[in-house]
Amino acid sequence: WILMVTAQTPTNIAVIKYWGKRDENLILAINDSISVTLDPAHLCTTTTVAVSPSFQQDRMWLNKKEISLDGARYQNCLREIRARANDYEDEKKGIKISKNDWQNLHVHIDSYNNFPTAAGLASSAAGFACLVFSLAKLMNVQEDNGRLSAIARQGSGSACRSLFGGFVKWVMGKEEDGSDSIAVPLVDEKHWDELVIIIAVVSSRQKETSSTSGMRETVVTSALIEHRAKEVVPKRIIQMEEAIKNRDFPTFAQLTCSDSNQFHAVCMDTSPPIFYMNDTSHRQVVLTSGWILSCVVAYTFDAGPNAVLIARNRKAATLMLQRLLFHFPPNSDTDLDSYVIGDKSI
């Protein structure tokens, strides 16, 4: 017999960034963060997990290529889910798995992203969230998404926030074992559904510093990071929660842009400095600055050159996209690959 579960998980974009760990193995952050989860139709991971007594070892395929599950991040997620597995029975199919059997049964995992992994769009967030969620369903784990987020966090920090839709806060927590470092939903996806997200995918593929090593270097070498984590972010989190609750776009946009700017400032304050934004990213900020001043658009950049633009509503998004396509048509001269609508199509 073979038992299978398929799940789909969208990626998320942080508006108050996570950058820096207090524990590398458990993946515990040095500050809280807040993100918006995208619509699954556009940027998501689909994962099928299967179990069968005929499987000889745990195996995984990502975008049709087999990858190793040896890394600590995969092993931690698999171990934590197996530890919470429950009895499963399907009389019709004659399948009976007891709680302890899961330790000896192997899984096959098939995962793919509906967006090009090479586009430099964060895929680990959706990937680990989907892996943990689908394994939990397969093994009949009864814990809620908050508890599951603490497991997904051990795959990739930002993944914990993809277990919920809408706006989500990752509470850094205080406990050494990370038990209180979980994602909490702030408002669901219906609360502020006029927002439209456009991602400008920059085509140059220069080798980037991964988030994992980048934030490690920042924590060790930046003099600004402590000020950011201890003084700036705690205040911003409170203001951002309030802005989201009130659908206050001007405050939301100002906080989002400032936090992106400060995240890139601590990257530049790292030794050697890390440059995630490039000339195209800078030109996009300049082009959108009028809209930013008139509070119809916010921008944010993650650990790469792609601009994530959050428009106040569909009308603003349409106008912005027209202007972007005029000034920055996707081709080699503009260094742009494509525009991905992360929310609804317009």
Cα–Cα dist 308/313, whole Å: 15
Which residues ranging from 6 to 25 are in contact with ligand DP6 (CB under 6 A)?
Answer: 14, 17-18
Instruction: Tell me whether residue 24 or residue 279 sits nearer to ligand DP6 (CB atom).
Output: 24
CA distances from 40 to 54, 166, 169, 229, 310 (A): 33, 12, 19, 31, 17
Residue nearest ligand DP6 by beta-carbon distance:
157
**Alpha-carbon gap, residue 226 to 214, rounded angstroms:** 15
DSSP-derived secondary structure letter, 279 = H
Which range of residues in 95-103, 156-164, 312-320, 327-335 is near ligand DP6 by CB under 6 A? 156-164
Q: Where are the alpha helices (DSSP H) in the chain?
A: 72-83, 124-138, 145-152, 211-221, 225-227, 233-245, 249-268, 279-293, 314-327
Q: Which is nearer to ligand DP6, 212 or 251 (CB)?
A: 212
Give the one residue of 158, 218, 222, 284 binding ligand DP6; rule: CB under 6 A: 158
DSSP 208: P
Q: Binding segment for ligand DP6 among 3-11, 93-101, 151-159, 254-262 (CB under 6 A)?
A: 151-159
124 makes contact with ligand DP6 (CB under 6 A): yes
Amino acid identity at 109: I
Cα separations (Å) of 302 from 7, 142, 207?
26, 33, 15
Instruction: Give me the least distance between CB of 65 and ligand DP6, in Å please.
Output: 20
Closer Cβ to ligand DP6, 138 or 214, answer by number? 214
> What is the nearest approach in angstroms of ligand DP6 to the Cβ of residue 12?
7
Q: Which residues are at the interface with ligand DP6 (CB under 6 A)?
A: 14, 17-18, 27, 33, 122, 124, 156-158, 211-212, 302-303
